[in-house]
């Protein structure tokens, strides 16, 4: 997989309270595959992770949300943690960015509580998702089909349930971004 995503830009939309391992591990896998990952946030400077039951590490914000453009990225990653997606779904600019990204048809990957922002953006109807179990009813009420699986890919949406699913989640993102490039070459 190393180098297969050379030249690809991946946006990771996050704010304070993201589940730390859900950012660090997929980011490491994407970077190792040759992608350039950028943390985008409504906050500038640094954001702070959540490490299971306490505050985690600070992570540098690469680009403020107000300067980010959906069309500049090949994929979007939405992280869990309860605080992070709850804050993002209440931020009109974050929701607008997710809506714009969904309209591109490029891969959007959401793990744990990450689908909350997709629900708020109104893009989950008739799509199959997995998530942290407490989002099951939220996703169903928004018109999605919920399943309990390690990773689910439906169209350009990828979802996983929890940190234990990160290896499968990361692999699915790499495959989806790589498949998009192969489709361009084939046409």
> Within a 10 A sphere around the Cβ of 38, how many other Cβ atoms?
17
How far is CA 57 from each of CA 16, 24, 118, rounded to the nearest angstrom? 10, 10, 26
Q: Are 119 and 139 in contact (CB under 8 A)?
A: yes
Burial class (CB in 10 A: 0-12, 13-18, 19+), 115: buried
* Cα Rg of the chain (Å, integer): 15
113 in catalytic set: yes
Name the active-site residue from 8, 87, 106, 113: 113
> Which residues are the active-site residues?
113
């Amino acid at each position: 997989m190393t180098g297969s995503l050379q030249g690809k830009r991946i946006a990771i939309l996050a704010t304070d309270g993201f589940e730390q391992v859900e950012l660090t591990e997929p980011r490491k896998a994407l970077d190792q595959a040759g992608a350039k990952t950028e943390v985008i946030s409504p906050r500038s400077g640094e954001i702070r992770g959540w490490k299971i039951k306490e505050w985690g590490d600070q992570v540098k914000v690469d680009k403020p949300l107000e300067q980010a453009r959906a069309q500049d990225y090949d994929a979007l990653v939405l992280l869990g943690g309860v605080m992070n997606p709850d804050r993002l779904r209440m931020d009109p600019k974050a929701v607008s960015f997710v809506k714009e990204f969904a309209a591109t048809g490029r891969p959007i990957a959401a793990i744990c509580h990450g689908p909350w922002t997709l629900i708020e953006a109104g893009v989950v109807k008739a799509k199959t998702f997995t998530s942290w179990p407490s989002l099951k009813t939220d996703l169903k009420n928004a018109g999605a089909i919920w399943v309990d699986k390690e990773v689910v890919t439906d169209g350009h949406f990828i979802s996983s349930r929890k940190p234990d699913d990160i290896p499968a989640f990361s692999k699915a993102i790499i495959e989806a971004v790589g498949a998009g490039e192969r489709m361009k070459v084939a046409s």
